[in-house]
Amino acid sequence: MKVLRAMFIVVAALAAIRMAVEFLPEEGIASLGERLQAAMGYGGGRMGGGSEAGESDGDAGGRDDDEDEAAPGRAIRVEGAIGVRLSADEQRETGIRVEALVASQHVTEIPAAGVVLDVQPLVALRSEFNRLHAEVEAAWSATGASRQMLERLRLLRREDANVTARQLMEAEAVATADRNRLSAAELRLRDVRGEAIQRWGVALSAMALAEETEPFDRIARHEDLLVLVTLRPGETLPVAGGTVYVGPTGQRERARPAELIAPATETDAVVQGETYYFRTAAEHLRIGMRLDVWIPAGAQPRRGVEVPGSAVIWHADRPWVYVRTGADLFVRKMLTGHEETRDGWFVGEGLGAGDEIVVAGAQMLYSEEFRARIPDEDEK
């Protein structure tokens, strides 16, 4: 009976082990196997035996795993910052390229939006204004002539000359008609001027309707173009905003100066900011083109360095670069006091001329840094 009872216990134990194994992950199976070995008297190591000196296979394997985990990341702490160490061969193999920063100056610019306007409606108003102006001049001449004739006939009538009452009445009628035509022409002229001012503003209308119209003639001939510049909501044109720079969208290198004419009378339906008229050269621009506008803020140029856009990576919604601080060491550094420029970022503090930054391969260094999964990293 004792033998049968022992066999029954063994069979039940094996069945329980089999059920447990089916629901355990690989780590659990290995752990269970080690515990069974320990229970069966094989010692603290894995199956296959261990060292009597206390250095089991499990201990050796643990050290190898730690080294394998640290090696791929190559990340180290450097005075509170995170650094990545790469040998010269590894830098060549991974395409790491470094450039030294040079000193530069930068004028802060306010971005705005612009559009090239069609001035044909204003040209049409100018044509109507000129026609009416000529009509007024003619009416003035006719009025003057008829008034003189009327005064002459009156004088002759008083001197008992051969002037009939009918002749005098006809002369008075002609003079009255000429005065009425003059008044009507002057009224229409004022209406056209008022329409131009209402639509285009005082300064631009004065430019278009003036007798000396060379600045506006250049716009009418498409030698220059009229640009409506719209600032962002809440911003206003700086005092030194008489000259701005306009260019095709995203092409700061193709920007050309534009001269202020006057504030505009209408705002952009979408942006809803302050608007101004500017005049610029027409080369390579067309009516209806949307433009980027760069407005100097009027401050003195800042001193700093220009960081290429290819060097910048983003972490925690902030721009960073990798600075080479040794032959094989690269440290990630956050940009401070920076402004976006045409080709990258202007940095006024934290980096200086001569600092070597990674301009190719920064993303690879970023990946290597975070492969190490340093637990005490505390970046702000």
Residue labelled with tokens 């102006």: 133
Tell me, rounded to whole angstroms, the distance of Cα 230 from its chain centroid: 14
Which architecture characterizes domain 74-106+302-371 according to CATH?
Answer: Beta Barrel (2.40)
Mean pLDDT of 36-63: 39
CATH class of 111-117+223-296: mainly beta
For the chain, the structural domain boundaries read 2-65, 74-106+302-371, 111-117+223-296, 120-209
Q: Are 363 and 377 in contact (CB under 8 A)?
A: no
pLDDT above 70 coverage of the chain, percent: 77
Q: Are 70 and 372 in contact (CB under 8 A)?
A: yes
Q: Between residues 49 and 370, which one has the greater pLDDT? A: 370
- Angle CA 109–113–114, to nearest 5: 120
Q: Are 210 and 136 in contact (CB under 8 A)?
A: no
- In this prediction, residue 258 has a pLDDT band, given cuts at 50, 70 and 90, of very high
- In this prediction, residue 269 has a pLDDT band, given cuts at 50, 70 and 90, of confident
Mean pLDDT of 113-141: 91
Given a cut of 50, is residue 60 above it in pLDDT?
A: no
- Assess whether the region 74-106+302-371 and the region 111-117+223-296 belong to the same CATH fold: no
- Return the number of other C-beta atoms located less than 10 Å from residue 103's C-beta: 11
Q: Tokens for 372?
A: 């190490």
Tens of pLDDT, residues 368-379: 887 765 455 454
pLDDT, position 36: 41
- In this prediction, residue 141 has a pLDDT band, given cuts at 50, 70 and 90, of confident
Q: How far apart are CA 338 and CA 353, in angstroms?
A: 15
Mean pLDDT of 278-300: 88
Mean pLDDT of 265-276: 85
pLDDT above 90 coverage of the chain, percent: 36
